[in-house]
Amino acid sequence: MLLRSINSVVRQRRQTMTQQITVFGYGAVGRPIVEKLVARGDRVRIATRRLPANLPANVEHMPCDVLDAADVRAALAGAAQAVLAVGFAYDSRLWRTVWPRAMTNMVEGCAVAGARLVFIDNLYQLGPQTTPRTEEMPLTKVGEKPVILAEVTRIWQSARGRVHVAALRCTDFYGPGVTVSHLGALAIGEIAKGKPAQMLVPTDTPHDFAYVPDIARATVLLLDAPDEDFDQVWNMPCAPTRTPRALLAMAAAARGYTLRVWGVPLALLRPLGLFYRFAKEVADVGFTWDRSYVVDGGKFARRFVFDPTPFEVGVPVTVHAFAGGRSGGYE
């Protein structure tokens, strides 16, 4: 059984090396995915609305709006696999239309092209939980953004039999190049400047964070996996759960600073949201911060023999990247 599994992966890897992979999105997650694929010699096409800066050599770029079905079909022409790693402005009013449309365009486009899809997903759709989040938990009916992502999940799940989809569900990101994040430019980025870290959420609630280079590594493993590993959800493994304060202290120590940090109590988010939209959007998923937020990534870790990067490695790399001016530039 083990030998058959190994042989299947080897055959899939040989096929992948000769196939076109279209990556939709070239932001904090899409770019490191592309870099890993390019480094090993894959044929990669990047599909974004605008030509990214510093496009890797030998990588094709195709102008594409994921909200335009014709654009998506064109970007998928000749592709055997696709990665959906796009992000939209953090606003449920926008998400209500763009996410369902984008996913519909993707599954229909993949069905026409005969391409498999790896979707870099979220976990909001599981709603409030009191135990670690697993792949088997039902979709929620609570919250604006969670309900929208639950609908998106149903869209790709209803395409089973026509399209092979693997959803890699990731909690909040951190890492080099990740500016828009609870541990992004206003938190670790400020520490890198010797300034106080700022967080719009409590700093002492245990919370899982996914390291972006790990997400890229996991995505490539799924692209190399046989069809049997598709048509299902995979939770992204994370390093053992810490509080944001503990991680920020680690960042400060890596720069030789004493941590200074301020956070916003959850009780203030909704009043603050009356005149600051982003606070309202964070309050919409307040269940991710009013209790420990733990993701069970054991299924993926066991299947792919995957060890997430320890925070003791990832956090110093991240703060030094901010200090060195490598904090952004992703489109």
pLDDT at 145 over 70: yes
Helix (H) or strand (E) holding 97: helix 92-113
The position carrying tokens 């759960």 is: 241
Residue 326 pLDDT level (bands cut at 50, 70, 90): low
State both tokens at 109.
């486009």
Instruction: State whether residue 327 is helix, strand or coil.
Output: coil
Q: Whole-angstrom Cα distance, residue 33 to residue 83? A: 9
Can you tell me the mean pLDDT for 275-286?
Answer: 93
State both tokens at 254.
């890596």
Q: Whole-angstrom Cα distance, residue 109 to residue 201? A: 38
pLDDT at 330 over 50: no
pLDDT at 80 over 80: yes
Q: Whole-angstrom Cα distance, residue 175 to residue 215? A: 10
pLDDT tens profile 217-247: 999 999 999 999 999 999 999 999 999 999 9
pLDDT at 16 over 70: no
pLDDT at 10 over 70: no
What pLDDT was estimated at residue 57?
85
What pLDDT was estimated at residue 4?
47
Residue 53 pLDDT level (bands cut at 50, 70, 90): confident
Q: Of the candidates 146, 190, 189, 171, which has an alpha carbon nearest to the alpha carbon of residue 292?
A: 171
The position carrying tokens 């870790």 is: 301
The four Cα atoms 210, 236, 95, 152 give a dihedral, to 10 degrees, of 180
What pLDDT was estimated at residue 266?
86
Q: Whole-angstrom Cα distance, residue 241 to residue 110? A: 36
CB 123 within 8 A of CB 170: yes
pLDDT at 8 over 90: no
Supply the mean pLDDT for the chain. 93
